[in-house]
Chains A and B, each alone.
Chain A
């Protein structure tokens, strides 16, 4: 338990959770079922999540005798689950669409963290979300996977690929600057 609390503190998880909660309350107050608002909720979620993907001293962390890939993988999965859970709790959008978006964006955040570092890991997910908002649902199901209907195969495959790749990359390699 103590280890968990220390871990959460070192990653700023309490602040991140507070931000997620605040954004969820804000979205609830907007009370609008437009798909753009869903994307906004997810983008805020991954932004808050991104801060916790690194720590103030990654190299110091590394000396700890802990199974880090397992911790990192669990961290990413739990973060995605929290974003998904909070957004689903609003009961404003299709649960499958939220799950797909949360999995894909969390994976992309993890992937970006391994490439650009945790501090910039929010950039690619937010950029892709913005492109989806501006372009709207087009025929290109991969580019606009976030706004496709829940039945779209291309979007589901994109989200799954991003989720699996991101989870694997982040769990195995860790954020940039770790070695």
Chain B
């Protein structure tokens, strides 16, 4: 205990823990990024918190590795390696205090970030499940593994350049894992494989709160980081080159195993059925939201029922409203006709759900670019304006001149029809409103 206290005071442990908190909270609170913009912002619910915390390991994990390497080379660098080995304690016993100090400090830093987020999550949602717990645990384990493997390498290669080079290489690895996997959409996508990305601890938010991290991926990652940690501790305590080679066995074995066990494609996230189950309001017509957003149901019921009343004018129009439980990039998969109208409860589509219910969600991606968007926007405006009983097409968002043009023509066309044929025409427009 006394040794641990001394190590905490005299090693880089406290600095490391402090920097972990400073860097991660600085990014999360001080900068604007996908972590506080999307429907899965880091304080919106538990899984998002866990995943964005793993995202922050992009900078924090290399830091822990570098700090470990820095710490691990201390004895050799100070020339007291031989002196220390004369202590009446085994190498194992001697290694424990510095290892414990650095690991405790790094994990405590991670916990502090978690607590800061957790307080806000508690204020934002009453939905709770335990699927996020493995994600956070793997995050902490990865920090322990980084510290240990860093200390091991630092002891075996006690050079001045070991710590900085390890830190930069680890940072390169975590960054590539985030931006260079296949189908990541960046300029350098496909540089590294999905398996490689999952062997680093970083995860990225998916702009979709209805996903969770697959439990088997977390399990395999636990195996890999345990292997790394054991190897690190071995490198730190074993004496002699042969023994140190032996210490590499756990990491190599775990690495091989995990590389073949990890999903090569799209297996990281799976749909969170519990969070996306429907909760419906009392009375009719039927209005439902996901269990995840159950708290907001009351806020939407009024608007949704008003929209459904207006939609009743259409032949075969929707008679119930549901939250579309898809991610931001999958908006186009939401059906635009049928007995159910869909709405969103997130940041981009706004809290004003009536427009979305009346004309369907806005098109996200059009193969033919702006012409497609304009056509879709014009149809949506005409449908919503007709249902609202406006005297001309009214749009909340400003339309492009082309879209205004198309909307005007469509509007005149609909208005020129006899009153009893108009609903059928508008229903047809609504069904194709989101075609490009």
Contact between chains at B167 and A119 (CB < 8 Å): no
Q: From residue A132, how far is it (CB to closest CB) to chain B in Å?
A: 11
- In the assembled complex, B58 has its CB within 8 A of some CB on chain A: yes
What's the Cα separation between A50 and B32 when bound, in Å?
A: 32
If A44-B165, A47-B161, A47-B164 touch, does A126 touch B31 (CB 8 Å cutoff)? no
* Residue B191 at the chain A interface, CB threshold 8 Å: yes
Specify the chain B residue showing the minimal Cβ separation from A118.
B160
Q: Which residues of B contact A89 (CB under 8 A)?
A: none
Q: Which residues of A contact B366 (CB under 8 A)?
A: none
Cβ of B156 under 8 Å from chain A:
no
A32 within 8 A of B: yes
**Complexed CA–CA distance, A149 and B32 (Å):** 20
Complex Cα distance, B159 from A154, in Å, reads 37
- Which residue of chain A has the shortest Cβ distance to B168 in the bound complex? A43
Cβ contacts under 8 Å, B27 to chain A: 131, 134-135
A135 touches B161 (CB 8 A): no
Binds A, one of B171-179, B242-250, B279-287: B171-179
Chain B 248-298 residues near chain A, CB threshold 8 A: none
Q: Is A75 an interface residue (CB 8 A)?
A: no
Is B338 close to A, CB under 8 A?
no
Q: Which of A11-19, A66-74, A91-99, A165-173 contacts B (4 or more CB under 8 A)?
A: A11-19
B59 beta carbon closer than 8 Å to chain A: yes
Chain A 1-43 near chain B by CB (<8 Å), digits 1 or 0:
0000000000010011001000000000010111011001001
Cβ-based interface call for B187 (8 A): yes
- Cβ of A119: which chain B residues have Cβ within 8 Å of it? 160
Q: Is B188 an interface residue (CB 8 A)?
A: yes
B232 adjacent to chain A (CB < 8 Å): no
From A48, A126, A138, B161 is in contact (CB under 8 Å) with A48
B335 within 8 Å of A by Cβ?
Answer: no
Is B209 located at the chain interface by the 8 A CB criterion? no
CA distance A134 to B172 in the complex (A): 11
Are A36's CB and B164's CB within 8 A? no
B164 touches A134 (CB 8 A): no
Contact of A130 (CB < 8 Å), options: B160, B163, B164, B171: B171
Instruction: Answer whether residue A159 sits at the interface, using C-beta atoms and an 8 A cutoff.
Output: no
Give the contact-size bracket for chain B: 20 to 34
Is the CB of B33 closer than 8 A to any CB of chain A? yes
B154 interface contact, C-beta 8 A: no
Inter-chain CA distance A135–B175, complex, in Å, is 12
Of B23, B27, B165, most buried by chain A (CB within 10 Å of CB) is B165
Report the separation of the CA atoms of residues A15 and B58 in the bound assembly, to the nearest whole angstrom: 28
CB distance from B76 to the nearest CB of A (A): 14
Partner among A34, A47, A131 whose Cβ is within 8 Å of the Cβ of B168: A47
A96-140 interface with B by 8 A CB criterion: 119, 122, 126-127, 130-131, 133-135, 138
Query: Distance in Å from the Cβ of B29 to the closest Cβ of chain A?
Result: 14
Query: Which residues of chain B in 154-213 are interfacial with respect to chain A, using CB atoms and an 8 Å cutoff?
Result: 159-161, 163-165, 167-168, 171-172, 175, 179, 186-188, 191
Contact B187 A34, beta carbon cutoff 8 Å? yes
Question: Considering the chains assembled together, what is the distance between the CA atoms of A134 and B204 in angstroms?
Answer: 12
A32: which B residues are within 8 A, CB to CB? 188, 191
Docked Cα-Cα span, A163 to B164, in Å, equals 21
- Distance between B30 CB and nearest chain A CB, rounded to angstroms: 10
- Contacting residue for A47 out of B33, B59, B165, B175, CB 8 A: B165
Cα(A30)–Cα(B32), bound, Å: 30
Q: How far is the CA of A33 from the CA of B171 in the complex (A)?
A: 18
CA distance A122 to B167 in the complex (A): 10
Q: Which of B59, B160, B179 contacts A36 (CB 8 A)?
A: B179
Specify which chain B residues have a CB less than 8 angstroms from the CB of A122 in the assembled complex.
163-164, 167
Q: Is the CB of A126 within 8 A of B165?
A: no
CB distance from B352 to the nearest CB of A (A): 28
Contact A135 B165 (CB under 8 A): no
Supply 24 A–B pairs (Cβ within 8 Å), ascending by A.
A15-B161, A16-B161, A19-B161, A19-B165, A34-B187, A34-B188, A40-B168, A43-B171, A47-B164, A50-B164, A119-B160, A122-B163, A122-B167, A126-B167, A127-B23, A130-B58, A130-B59, A130-B171, A131-B59, A135-B27, A135-B31, A135-B33, A138-B31, A138-B32
- Which residues of A are interface residues toward B (Cβ below 8 A)? 12, 15-16, 19, 30, 32-34, 36-37, 40, 43-44, 47-48, 50-51, 119, 122, 126-127, 130-131, 133-135, 138
Nearest 3 CB-CB pairings of A with B: A47-B164, A122-B164, A51-B160
6 other contacts beyond A15-B161, A36-B179, A122-B163, with CB at 8 A cut-off?
A: A34-B188, A47-B168, A48-B165, A130-B59, A134-B175, A138-B31
